[in-house]
């Protein structure tokens, strides 16, 4: 299920693209030479970067698993879904609870070209896609309401995409509007990248000047504010990706690649 198609925007293959680079870093095939070169240059300049995308992806796996298995979440709204790979939100949730219903939101033309072919669902559940800017929360909720029952708790998943919103107040306002609109018992699963060290920050700033969509690193002391008014699941609280409920499949922990947390709306 998807919204009615809109005219497709042209995909620019002359500049690197964050979703395609991320796809390359995580072993996907949906990237171009310009993305491979940008990704290789980033890792050449900052080798620890090769650890961070798998850490982020594995945090998503553990967060959705926790929400489905421990919290009983059966409805998910995933913002800024990016290019579908393996272990997408609907696959994780429906593996545990086949009746889970998942709505993805993205307005990237590249993502849109892949989503219909790659997003599937169990017979008992549903997977839908909304082509919309995640900042337009009224339209996002209107579209999500065609698949989800918004009178019942919904797990909002925002996995490492808020750094693409340059203005902090806009990023914080997006989260607040969504959570204010959802009923008590809903959840927020949010992660955000931060600079591991000064060299990491410098390499990211160079990448941001490449013509690609920039990503803004923010300190955990700032991004934890996105959980204001919510009940943070603690332990583990808001912590670095590998330290958030690690399991047997979690790799070696790093201290400051990115942070994540899950909170419940009272």
pLDDT in tens, 174-189: 999 999 999 999 999 9
- For residue 83, pLDDT beyond 80: no
Token pair, residue 258, equals 């990115």
Beta strands in 40-109 (DSSP E): 75-79, 101-106
- Which secondary-structure segment (H or E) carries 155? strand 155-159
In 147-171, which positions are buried (b, 16+ CB within 10 angstroms) versus exposed (e)? Answer: bbebeebbbbbbbbbbbebeeeeeb
Q: Is the pLDDT of residue 192 over 70?
A: yes
Least confident of 28-37, 168-177, 224-233: 28-37
Cα angle 206-211-213, degrees, rounded to a multiple of 5: 90
Is residue 8's pLDDT more than 60?
no
């Amino acid at each position: 299920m998807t919204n009615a198609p809109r005219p497709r925007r042209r995909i620019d293959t002359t500049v690197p693209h964050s979703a395609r680079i991320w796809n390359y870093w995580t072993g996907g095939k949906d990237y171009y030479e310009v993305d491979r070169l940008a990704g290789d240059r980033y890792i050449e300049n900052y080798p620890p970067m090769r650890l961070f995308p798998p850490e982020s992806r594995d945090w998503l796996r553990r967060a959705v698993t926790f929400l489905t298995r421990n919290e009983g979440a059966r409805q998910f709204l995933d913002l800024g879904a990016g290019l579908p790979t393996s272990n997408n939100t609907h696959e994780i949730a429906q593996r545990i609870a086949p009746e889970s219903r998942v709505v993805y939101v993205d307005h990237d033309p590249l993502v849109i070209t892949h989503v219909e072919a790659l997003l599937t669902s169990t017979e008992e559940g549903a997977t839908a896609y909304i082509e919309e800017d995640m900042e337009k929360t009224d339209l996002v909720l209107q579209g999500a309401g065609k698949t989800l029952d918004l009178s019942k708790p919904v797990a909002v998943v925002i996995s490492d995409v808020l750094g693409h919103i340059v203005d902090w107040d806009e990023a914080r306002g997006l989260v607040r509007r969504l959570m204010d609109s959802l009923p008590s018992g809903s959840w927020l699963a949010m992660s955000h990248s931060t600079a591991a060290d000064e060299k990491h920050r410098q390499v990211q700033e160079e990448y941001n000047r490449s013509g690609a969509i920039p990503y803004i690193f923010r300190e955990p002391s700032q991004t934890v504010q996105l959980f204001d008014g919510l009940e943070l699941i603690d332990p583990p609280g808001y912590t670095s990706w590998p330290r958030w409920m690690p399991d047997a499949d979690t790799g070696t922990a790093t201290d400051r690649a990115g942070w994540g947390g899950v909170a419940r709306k009272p």
